[in-house]
Amino acid sequence: MEERLKKLEKLKELGVNPYPYNFDRTHTFHQIKDDFATLSQTEQKVSTCGRVITVRGHGKTLFATLTDETERMQVYLRKDRLGEKFDLFQYFDVGDFMGLDGTIFKTKTDEITVLVSDYVLLSKSLRPLPEKWHGLRDIEMRYRKRYLDLIANTEVRDIFKKRTRLLNAMRQFLDKQGFIEVETPVLQAIYGGAAANPFKTHYKALDQDMFLRIADELYLKRLIVGGYEKVYEVCRDFRNEGIDRMHNPEFTMLELYQAYADYNDIMELIEQMIEHLVMEISPEKKLKFADRTIEFNRPFKRVKYVDSLNERLGFDVLSAGESEIDKHCEQHGIDYKKLARGSKIDKIFSELVQNNLIDPTFVVD
What are residue 151's phi and psi, to 5 degrees?
A: -70, -45
Residue 125 pLDDT: 95
> What CA–CA distance (Å, rounded) separates 79 from 187?
61
Which of 140, 352, 136 minimizes the C-alpha distance to 243?
A: 140
Residue 261 pLDDT: 97
> What CA–CA distance (Å, rounded) separates 40 from 23?
23
> What CA–CA distance (Å, rounded) separates 168 from 172?
6
Run of H or E including 147: helix 146-152
> What CA–CA distance (Å, rounded) separates 349 from 115?
63
Cβ neighbours of 200 (radius 10 Å): 11
For the chain, give the number of residues. 365
Per-residue pLDDT of the chain (365 residues; tens, 9 = 90+): 899 999 999 999 999 999 999 999 999 999 999 999 999 999 999 999 999 999 998 789 999 999 999 899 999 999 999 999 999 999 999 999 999 999 999 999 999 999 999 999 999 999 988 765 445 667 777 778 888 888 878 888 899 999 999 999 999 999 999 999 999 999 999 999 998 999 999 999 999 999 999 999 999 999 999 999 999 999 999 999 988 877 889 999 999 999 999 999 999 999 999 999 999 888 999 998 888 899 998 999 999 999 999 999 999 999 999 999 999 999 999 999 899 999 999 999 999 999 889 899 999 99
Would you say 231 and 180 are in contact if contact means Cβ atoms under 8 Å apart? yes
Cis status, amide bond into 299, omega within 30 of 0: yes
Residue 133 pLDDT: 44
What are residue 13's phi and psi, to 5 degrees?
A: -60, -35
Which of 312, 298, 303, 216 minimizes the C-alpha distance to 257?
A: 216
pTM above 0.85, yes or no: no
> What CA–CA distance (Å, rounded) separates 169 from 180?
14
Q: Measure CA 211 to chain center.
A: 27
Q: Measure CA 57 to chain center.
A: 36
> What CA–CA distance (Å, rounded) separates 265 from 273?
12
Helices (runs of H) and strands (runs of E) counted in the chain: 12, 15
Beta strands in 154-199 (DSSP E): 180-181, 187-188
Residues with Cβ within 8 Å of 259's Cβ and at least 6 positions away in sequence, in order, are 224, 228, 229, 230
> What CA–CA distance (Å, rounded) separates 163 from 160?
5
What are residue 282's phi and psi, to 5 degrees?
A: -150, 95
**Burial classification of residue 217, based on how many CB atoms lie within 10 Å of its CB (0-12 exposed, 13-18 middle, 19 or more buried):** middle
